[in-house]
Homo-oligomer: A and B are copies of this chain.
Amino acid sequence: MSRINAGRLMADLRALARFGACGTGVDRVSFSAPDIEARQWLVERMQSAGLQARIDRVGNVAGVTPGASRAVVIGSHTDTVPRGGWLDGAMGVIYGLEIARSRIEQGRAATLGVDVASFQDEEGTYLSCLGSRAFCADLPESELAAARTPGGETVPQAIERAGYGGAVWLRDPARHVAYLEAHIEQGPRLEAAALRLGAVTGIVGIRRFRVICKGQADHAGTTPINLRRDAARSLIGLAHWVHEAIAGLGGPDTVWNVGVMSVLPGAANVVPAEASMVVEFRDTELAVLDRVEAAFRAQIAAADGRGGVVVSAQPIARSTPTLMDPRLVAMIDGVAGALSVPSMRMVSGAGHDAMIVGRVMPAAMLFIPSIGGRSHDIVENTDEADIVLGCEALAGVVERLETVAL
C-alpha cells in the first residue's frame, strides 16, 4: 500500500513544468514572470491540499499544515537556471506537497505535520540560497539589499515588482523537528552503480581560488628560455600539480577542477606576460579541505618569484561543508531496506538549500538518479518510477519521525 498518490504527484510536477516551459526543460529563473506565476500556482495547490499557504516577503512559498504542533519541513526550490531541467528543485517541493496532502487525507497530520517550502533563488540569480538563508535568519538586510542580477536589478526592486510583502517565514524551533529535501542527483553515480536511492551524508564545502601569474611578454623566438619570465609556464606547473597531487592529499570523495584558464597577450609567438586560472576543490570534511588548501598554498608560495614570475592565489568562494543528521541518514537507509530498493550513502557535490538549513536543525537529503548524470540543461530527466519511488521513500521517513524525538 502506497503512502502517496503517484498519479497526483506526477500531474502536479508536470503542471509546474508548464511555467517557463522550454523544450523538454524549464526556464524559470528567480523573479522572472513564469517564476512569479508558478509561486502563485503553488500557493493555490497548497490551499487545495488543506495547507495554510502564503508567499513571504522574499518570495518563499510556505505551506503550513494546520492543527499540528510539530512538523517536518519538506522543501527545495522552484526557480531554475536559464534553460534548466524540470526536476531540479521542483521535485523536492512537489514531494513536500504530495506528502503533506496525503498525510492530511490519512489523518496523520496531527501527529506530525509537514510544512512545505519553496525557497527563493537557490540557483543564485541574485544570491545563492537567498530563501533558505532568510528562513534560517541567516541573511543580513544589507546583504539582501546589495544582491543584484548581472543586469543590475536588486532584490528589493524585484520584490517590489513581484508585489511580495508580509513577514519573512522563519524557522520555528518549537515546531520544526527536521528538514528533508529530495533532489535529483545531478551526477552519474547512482546510475553508474545501478542504484535507485542515495542517502546523502553531507554536502561538500567548496574552496575556490583565482591564481594569477605575472611575468613579462617577450618574443618567443628571440628570447632564450633562461631569460624569460613566462607566466604561462608557472601556471601550467601549478595546474599540473592540482591534477596530480590532490588525489593523494584528499579523501575518497574529494573532487577538484580547473575550469577557467586564460593566457595573455595570447599570441603563438609571444611569451605570456600574464596567465590565470580558477581552481576549486570540494569535500565534506573540513580537515580534508584544510589539508588540501595548506598544500595548495605551499605550492603557490614556492612558485612565487620562481623564473621571475609573481604568483598569487585569491580566495573567491568558500563554503563550509554541512553534515546531514546521522539519525535521519540511517532512517533513509532503513526505509530503502524496507522497500527492498538498492541504495547507497553518498555525498552531495553540489550546494542545496539543505546545506543552509542543515546548519541550524537536523536535516537530510535523499537523491534519486539523473539519467546520464545530466542537469542544468533541458535534457535533465529521471525515470518516472524513480520519481515515484523517491516520494514514497521520503513519506516513509516522515512516518518514522512520528515516533522519534531528534
Given contacts A222-B350, A227-B188, A373-B222, contact A259 B240 (CB under 8 A): no
- This protein's copies in its complex: 2
* Interface: A13 (CB within 8 A): no
Residue from B186, B253, B267 in contact with A260 in the complex, judged by beta carbons closer than 8 Å: B267
Q: Which residues 296-323 in A have Cβ within 8 Å of B in the complex?
A: 316-317
Closest chain B residue to A317, Cβ basis: B268
Residue from B255, B266, B350 in contact with A224 in the complex, judged by beta carbons closer than 8 Å: B255
Most-contacted residue by chain B among A187, A267, A348 (CB, 10 A): A187
Most-contacted residue by chain B among A189, A218, A236, A237 (CB, 10 A): A236
A217 to chain B, nearest CB (A): 9
A349 near B221 with CB under 8 A, answer yes
* Interface: A202 (CB within 8 A): no
* Interface: A220 (CB within 8 A): yes
Q: Which of A148-156, A270-278, A287-295, A392-400 contacts B (4 or more CB under 8 A)?
A: A270-278
* Interface: A5 (CB within 8 A): no
Q: What is the total number of residues of chain A having a CB less than 8 Å from a CB of chain B?
A: 57
A2 to chain B, nearest CB (A): 29
Chain B neighbourhood of A232, CB < 8 A: 239, 258-259, 261
* Interface: A77 (CB within 8 A): no
Residue from B185, B192, B262, B268 in contact with A278 in the complex, judged by beta carbons closer than 8 Å: B268
* Interface: A204 (CB within 8 A): yes
Inter-chain pairs besides A188-B218, A188-B227, 12 sampled, C-beta below 8 Å: A206-B221, A221-B255, A221-B282, A223-B373, A227-B373, A239-B240, A240-B240, A258-B263, A260-B268, A261-B261, A268-B280, A269-B280
**The 5 residue pairs across chains A and B that have the minimum distance between CB atoms:** A187-B222, A221-B349, A220-B257, A240-B240, A222-B349
A-B contact pairs, 20 of them (CB 8 A): A187-B223, A188-B222, A188-B224, A189-B224, A206-B221, A219-B376, A220-B257, A220-B259, A222-B373, A224-B255, A227-B373, A230-B257, A232-B261, A233-B243, A233-B258, A236-B239, A260-B268, A261-B275, A268-B280, A268-B316
